[in-house]
Copies of this chain bind each other. A is one copy, B any other.
Amino acid sequence: MSTKKFLLQEKDIPTAWYNIAADMKNKPLPILNPKTKEPLHAEDLYPLFAEELARQEMNQTDAWIEIPEEVRDMYKIWRPTPLVRAYGLEKALDTPAHIYFKNESVSPVGSHKLNSAIAQAYFCKKQGVTNITTETGAGQWGAALSFAAKAFGLELAVYMVKVSYHQKPYRRSIMQSYGAEVIASPSMSTRAGRDIITKHPNYQGSLGTAISEAVELAMQTPNCKYTLGSVLNHVMLHQTVIGLEAEKQMEMAGEYPDIVIGCFGGGSNFSGISFPFLRHKLNEGKDIRIIAAEPASCPKLTRGQFQYDFGDEAGYTPLIPMYTLGHNFAPANIHAGGLRYHGAGSIVSQLKKDNLMEAVDIKQLDTFNAALLFAKTEGIIPAPESSHAIAAAINEALVCKEEGTQKTILFNLSGHGLIDMAAYDQYLSGDLSNHELSDDEIGKNLNELEHLI
């Protein structure tokens, strides 16, 4: 076994984020006020988000948005991240394909989420905001934002889905170690939480409820903004540092990817690795395949509909044009908690609609099988989320083997799995299974969307 890393220096950290919306021929459809059905403008989002973030969200004209020096300084804690040629995996698969991965797991919190957490905390601080709120499911985003908030001197309240709060105490402790307040949701601290607890005293929470609580607290607290770790355009924007670095590193390797792969939940790491490569497809017609790898149990891109839908379960957000399974869709309780989201962001949805990218769905057992092969050959135990990208890359490498073609495959290792070992334990004990999803189950939630617009 052998390996090869391609390492950049700090000066190679990108100085601007790439805003793909500016290069898209078919722009994403506008997000709408659910009552008036009128398009929203940046100003409409100011009450909820920092103003600069709201403007980034709506920007469809500037392809490059400068990264503030303070944000780049923080990126230097762990960026640039390595690009690795996965010789060990290639050898184990006996494939002629060249497999590369971008290793975002080296961040202090173990995932790519910090790329946007730092940017969001910075823009809030710059505007004079003192408090921020967010929600977190499995805890990757919450952990990243906890460190970012501390670094910029912001107070942070994280609503963590109650079942995770109790089942994933390590991620909760990480947030608390960075100094964040972590509240199990539903909680008595908000009206949304109190209402649900009163009706269902034993309710274990959902991301939808946690969003409602975080939004409510932000709206009712002076000098407080709400933040989100995926789905929104400004989050995708911040994550493009991943792909921009990878592009330089592929150049160092003397190769260019034929296929770029990211796992897909709300789209943050997928967009981060793929948009910078996709821009050459948009602008110069470059022949490159972009693949989103989603869980078979939450297949919005492969089996969902392109339709206006709410971003949250409760229906408090604006209407977003998305590939969706319906905002009431309840995905099975798979271990890749970060991919259990019903819809795709508006940019990715438009790109998929225009056939500028593809999507594949991967079954849970196949992701763990791929993860263990990766751990044994490349040394890193991947996050269950990232294992979807690994499985998709392995599938493509095996096609190369069958066809005898030498393709270059790049995937994003969005995070490590060291805090997800309970999931590996279950897999190794044979206690894990796949979740078959019938067309009826999907159709049921989609039918309910028709009245929305």
Binding site for B on A (CB under 8 A): 1-5, 7, 9-10, 73-74, 76-78, 84, 88, 106, 108-110, 147, 150-151, 169-171, 173-174, 176-179, 372, 375-376, 378-381, 418-419, 421-422, 424-425, 428
Contacts and interface: CB of A to CB of B under 8 A. Distances in A.
Contact of A9 (B3, B7, B76, B419): B7
A381 B84 CA distance: 25
Nearest to A80: B7
Given A147-B375, A171-B421, 13 more contacts: A1-B73, A1-B74, A4-B10, A7-B7, A106-B106, A147-B376, A150-B376, A173-B421, A173-B428, A174-B381, A176-B428, A418-B418, A418-B419
B3 A74 contact: yes
B170 A421 contact: yes
Contact of A173 (B1, B2, B425): B425
B147 A379 contact: yes
Contacts of A380: 108
Contact of A424 (B76, B177, B375): B177
A390 B419 CA distance: 23
Contacts of A84: 77
11 contacts: A3-B73, A4-B76, A78-B379, A108-B380, A169-B422, A173-B428, A174-B418, A176-B428, A178-B375, A418-B418, A418-B419
A174 B375 CA distance: 10
A85 to B, nearest CB: 10
A296 B77 CA distance: 32
A169 to B, nearest CB: 6
B376 A422 contact: no
Nearest to A152: B1
A376 B108 CA distance: 11
A76 B88 CA distance: 12
Contacts of A173: 421-422, 424-425, 428
Nearest to A153: B1
Given A169-B421, A170-B422, A375 B4 contact: no
A76 to B, nearest CB: 5
Contacts of A78: 379
A3 B76 contact: yes
A133 to B, nearest CB: 19
Q: Which 6 A-B pairs have the closest CB atoms?
A: A108-B379, A170-B421, A173-B421, A173-B425, A108-B380, A2-B73
A2 B76 CA distance: 8
Contact of A77 (B3, B372, B424): B3
Contacts of A147: 375-376, 379
Nearest to A144: B379
Nearest to A8: B7
A391 to B, nearest CB: 16
Nearest to A76: B3
Contacts of A109: 379
B418 A375 contact: no
A150 to B, nearest CB: 5
Contacts of A169: 421-422, 425
